[in-house]
Structure 1
Amino acid sequence: MTLKAKLKEDLTEAIRGRDELRSATLRLTLAAIAKEEVAGTTARELSDDEVQKVIAREAKKRREAADAFAKGGRGEQAEREKAEGVVLDEYLPKQLGDDELRQIVAEAVAEAKAGGAEGPRAMGAVMKIVNPKIAGRAEGGRVAAVVKQLLAE
């Protein structure tokens, strides 16, 4: 079963169970997936990896919105956004812990230095090595921060 099919099936269950939060979240996510499928010159079916990227993007939007609502003093809206983010996290791979991320980045830094890349300029080379290994299991900003930190050492 594809990830998109699972989302549709879970949406049907949420509607039957009258779970308003879950059904609204899955509807918005499926709409984002459909929009992505028709973007560009020709319509196409997204692969599971592409669907996962859309879900990750939607989850990130929810986290950012929750922070903005919290800063704006709208706690109820912030809680709703956080709850939607939790629903979406169920469809994403388990996120890497700080130690695991540091380990992967440290290996990539060593590999890049062995290839002749030094200092802050090596960031691009390190990111090229790290990104395929991490593949959606950590946010880019978090990865970049660890890379900068380890390159500065």
Structure 2
Amino acid sequence: MTTLERLTSDLTTAMKARDTFTTGTLRQIIGAVRTAEKSGSVAREFSDEEVQAVLTSEVKKRRESAQIFADAKADDRAANETAEADLIEGYLPASLSAEQVDALVADAITSTGASGPKDMGTVMKAVQAAAAGLGRVDGKALSQKVRAALTS
């Protein structure tokens, strides 16, 4: 079952259970995927990886919104955004641990022969390719780890 099929199935279940929070969140997410599918020159059906990229983007948006609401002392809205992000993350593969990311970075540096910060792009590509089948990696955290490894 693809991620989009699972989202649709869970939406039906949430509607039958009259769970308004889950129903609303899943409708927003499915809408975001459909909008992304229609963007560009030709509408097409997304692969599971592309759907997960949209979900990752939606999680990031909600986490940023939650931070903005928290800074503005709108705690109820921040809690709602956080709950939505947590719900969406349930449809994404598990994140890699810090140790796994460190090992991938070390392997990528050795395999690419990177010697300094100028090779950061090459190492980032290698790590992202290696992590593709293993789980999610936060790009910002990965970038910091690669930069630290290449400068030391």
The answer, yes or no, to whether TM exceeds 0.5 is yes
Distance of 1:140 and 1:90 partners within structure 2: 19
Match of 2:30 in 1: 30
1:55-87 Cα shifts (integer Å, max 9, x gaps):
111111111111111111111111101100111
- Aligned sequence identity (%): 39
CA apart distance, 1:144? 0.3
Distance of 2:98 and 2:2 partners within structure 1: 30
Match of 2:70 in 1: 70
Match of 1:19 in 2: 19
1:60-117 Cα shifts (integer Å, max 9, x gaps):
111111111111111111110110011111110000111111111111112222xxx3
Distance of 2:16 and 2:22 partners within structure 1: 11
Distance of 1:52 and 1:20 partners within structure 2: 23
TM-score (norm. length: structure 1):
0.93
Match of 1:57 in 2: 57
Match of 1:146 in 2: 145
Distance of 1:118 and 1:141 partners within structure 2: 21
How many pairs align? 150
Distance of 1:9 and 1:148 partners within structure 2: 42
CA apart distance, 1:20? 1.6
**Aligned AA (2:61):** K
**Aligned AA (2:110):** A
Distance of 2:3 and 2:123 partners within structure 1: 30
SS of 2:92 mapped into structure 1: coil
SS of 1:129 mapped into structure 2: helix
CA apart distance, 1:126? 0.3
**Aligned AA (2:97):** G
TM-score (norm. length: structure 2):
0.94
Distance of 1:137 and 1:59 partners within structure 2: 12
CA apart distance, 1:128? 1.4
- What are the ranges of 5 or more consecutive residues in structure 2 without an aligned counterpart? none
**Aligned AA (1:111):** S
Match of 2:130 in 1: 133
Distance of 1:3 and 1:68 partners within structure 2: 29
Distance of 1:16 and 1:88 partners within structure 2: 19
Distance of 2:150 and 2:71 partners within structure 1: 33
Runs of 4+ in 1 over 3 A off after TM superposition: none
SS of 1:146 mapped into structure 2: helix
Distance of 1:97 and 1:72 partners within structure 2: 32
SS of 1:84 mapped into structure 2: helix
